[in-house]
Amino acid sequence: MPLGLIELPWWGYVLVILGLTHITIASVTIFLHRHQAHHALDLHPLASHFFRAWLWLTTGIVTRNWVAIHRKHHAKCETPDDPHSPQVYGLKKVLFDGVDLYRRESAVAETLERYGHGTPNDALERHLYARHRQLGIGLMLVIDLLLFGPIGLTVWAVQMLWIPFFAAGVINGVGHYWGYRRFAPNDASRNILPWGLLIGGEELHNNHHAYATSAKLSNQWWEVDIGWLYIRLLAALRLAKIRRVAPKIRVDLTKRHCDVGTLQAVVTHRYAVLARFVDSLKPTVKQEVRQRQLGTALGLDEKRTLRAVQRGLQRGAENLPASERMILERALAASPLLRLLYALRQELVALWGRSNASREQLVEQLESWLQHAETSGIIALQQFSKRLCGYG
């Protein structure tokens, strides 16, 4: 006689667990992340209420708390004020104890007040979801036990551990520590593979930090964003409306002078521009470090010196750990070529940070930058300059 309403073989329970946890991660990435935190899409009330109810049952997450902490993460990324940066707290702490960091930050009233605006505040949220978080989790336990009998306790335990480990741990931890980068925002975000089916596309974390308000996280044909597939399905059913996706870079190699369109494209794709700038100069930087024997001159190995210089070109000296910043500064002092490249990097970044300048002034500054790069005598920089001029 079955102990629960449903009796399955062992692999059936595995499939049930994967299915239930997958609904949870889809709820996090679609509702909490892309819809609530970044407004990349609108959701029909039916879909929105389903996601809220499911998250109440399976995580006890309060929408306002989650959104506020995530927005603060973007605003203070990789600084001591970042709620969960492995660069600050260490990978082990974030990976295995990310829930503790989340709880601590959710108790900070200033964080919730400043970053939690625009989240649900209806009677259902105030009187049930936010006030009785543990009730939902307990109700989920009862449901699992009724459906599956004693094995339901295992099903429930995995459900409860899934988001704390994969979201609070893997995405917030590994996603800022290990993986590949296609873009160069001023943080340590990485794309991590092959976790797409387990964390709903959230493994494309560097892509997300480059285009935070995009409903689509994949940027290359081979990058799998399962969350985007579900969003497209919801849109087809008229349960979602996509507001923004990352635009494609258009390049016209016949252009000889930059214009307002060039400037707008450079600003829009600034992190892709900076990443291409750094990547195009990697052979030049490596050759300079090796020929001048900068590692030996600084009392360091070549690999460590090269890493500090390349990270400095990506993120800027101000965003590096103190030890790497010191190496970068000493390398720049010893090499006129590296000083030139870093100065050009700073000028390029300043273009999208000069909010008080008119568009005409910024176009002139961009044109001046391109001419400076063109007359530098560095082949890789000249090639980069010609391509950048074609943006538009």
pLDDT tens profile 78-137 = 999 999 999 999 999 999 999 999 999 999 999 999 999 999 999 999 999 999 999 999
pLDDT at 219: 92
pLDDT tens profile 338-353 = 999 999 999 999 988 8
- Alpha-carbon distance of 146 to 140, in angstroms, equals 10
> Beta strand 41-43 with 240-242: parallel, antiparallel or unpaired?
antiparallel
| Cα→Cα distances 352→208, 227, 344, 359, Å | 19, 30, 14, 11
Structural contact between residues 191 and 204, judged by C-beta atoms closer than 8 angstroms = yes
The whole-chain average pLDDT of the chain stands at 93
Query: 197 CB contacts (<8 Å, ≥6 apart)?
Result: 22, 224, 226
The H-or-E segment that residue 242 falls in is strand 240-242
Residue 118 three-state SS: coil
pLDDT at 69: 98
pLDDT at 352: 86
- Alpha-carbon distance of 277 to 3, in angstroms, equals 63
pLDDT tens profile 163-191 = 999 888 899 999 999 999 999 998 999 99
Chain length of the chain: 392
For residues 15-19, give the mean pLDDT: 96
pLDDT at 180: 92
Q: Alpha helix (H) ranges present in 3-132?
A: 10-27, 45-58, 63-75, 86-89, 91-106, 109-115, 123-124
> In this model, does residue 299 exceed pLDDT 90?
no
335 closest CA partner among 387, 372, 281, 388: 281
Residue 191 three-state SS: strand
- Alpha-carbon distance of 207 to 196, in angstroms, equals 13
pLDDT at 92: 94
Rounded (10°) CA dihedral 372, 373, 374, 377 = 100
pLDDT at 189: 95
Q: What string of DSSP letters covers 309-346?
A: HHHHHHH-GGGS-HHHHHHHHHHHHH-HHHHHHHHHHH
- Domain spans in the chain, listed from the N-terminal domain onward: 10-242, 260-389
pLDDT tens profile 23-71 = 999 999 999 999 999 999 999 999 999 999 999 999 999 999 999 999 9
Amino acid at 137: I
Place 308 in a pLDDT band, splitting at 50, 70 and 90. very high
Tokens standing for 1? Answer: 């006689």
DSSP H helix total and E strand total for the chain = 21, 2
> In this model, does residue 1 exceed pLDDT 60?
no
> In this model, does residue 293 exceed pLDDT 90?
no
**pTM, entire model:** 0.90
Q: What is the DSSP letter of 251?
A: B
pLDDT at 244: 96
Percent of the chain with pLDDT over 70: 99
36 closest CA partner among 251, 293, 215: 215
Percent of the chain with pLDDT over 90: 84
> In this model, does residue 77 exceed pLDDT 60?
yes
Place 2 in a pLDDT band, splitting at 50, 70 and 90. low
Tokens standing for 102? Answer: 């989340």
Amino acid at 61: I
Place 153 in a pLDDT band, splitting at 50, 70 and 90. very high
Query: 93 CB contacts (<8 Å, ≥6 apart)?
Result: 86, 101
Max avg pLDDT among 105-114, 302-311, 314-323: 105-114
Longest dimension (CA), the chain: 83
> In this model, does residue 369 exceed pLDDT 90?
yes
Better pLDDT: 167 or 195: 167
